[in-house]
Amino acid sequence: MVVNTRNGNKRGNLLEATQRAIFGWARKSSLWPMTFGLACCAIEMMSASAANYDVMERSGMLFRPSPRQSDLMIVAGSVTLKMAPVLRRLYDQMPDPKWVISMGSCASAGGPYPTYSHLQGVDKVVPVDVYVPGCPPVPEALFYGILQLQGMIQRGDRQVKEAPIDPEPKLQPTR
């Protein structure tokens, strides 16, 4: 948080924080994720929110059933080409500002066995802010990814570019 003091004295300071810093602090502390889990990564995401790890409770997050109530989408597992337009539609229904975490090898790069029917990375359909590696990633990795996203939100740096995204990717031959 950016803090300035008036008159330089130590007692009775008037603290002024920038609006961006206050909004960043509030946004990072109140993420409401919507899950898009399709495979074994979704099981690890459920494990992360269970009693052993309790990642969501520690982060101040509440799972939301509707995209209109959430500002974070966690894509866990493989996404087929038929599901890609659905994923994009859900992303478009989320209110701004919105963020995306790609969880696991299948969501990030198509998985260990690329096929013609699977999307080779969800970043071809929605802009991804944080990639969580692993097959499947452990709950600690998801927690670390959430912490990285909260840091990005606090600083206000968003690196994603939305221009080259195709809402309906085409079938491509495998190598």
Question: Is 72 inside a domain boundary?
Answer: yes
The β-bridge partners of 103 are: 76, 132
41 labelled as ligand-binding?
yes
Question: Is 14 inside a domain boundary?
Answer: no
135 labelled as ligand-binding?
yes
Predicted local confidence at residue 40, as pLDDT: 78
Burial of 159 (0-12, 13-18, 19+ CB in 10 A): exposed
Predicted local confidence at residue 8, as pLDDT: 55
Cα dist. 23→91, 106, 152 in Å? 22, 33, 13
Phi/psi region, residue 4 (left: phi>0; alpha: psi -120 to 50; beta: rest), is beta
90 labelled as ligand-binding?
no
Mean pLDDT, 10 residues at a time, over the chain (175 residues)?
A: 51 57 72 79 76 71 79 86 87 87 85 80 88 86 86 74 55 54
Question: Is 16 inside a domain boundary?
Answer: no
Predicted local confidence at residue 117, as pLDDT: 81
Neighbours of 126 (CB within 10 A): 25
* Domain count for the chain: 1
pTM (two decimals): 0.75
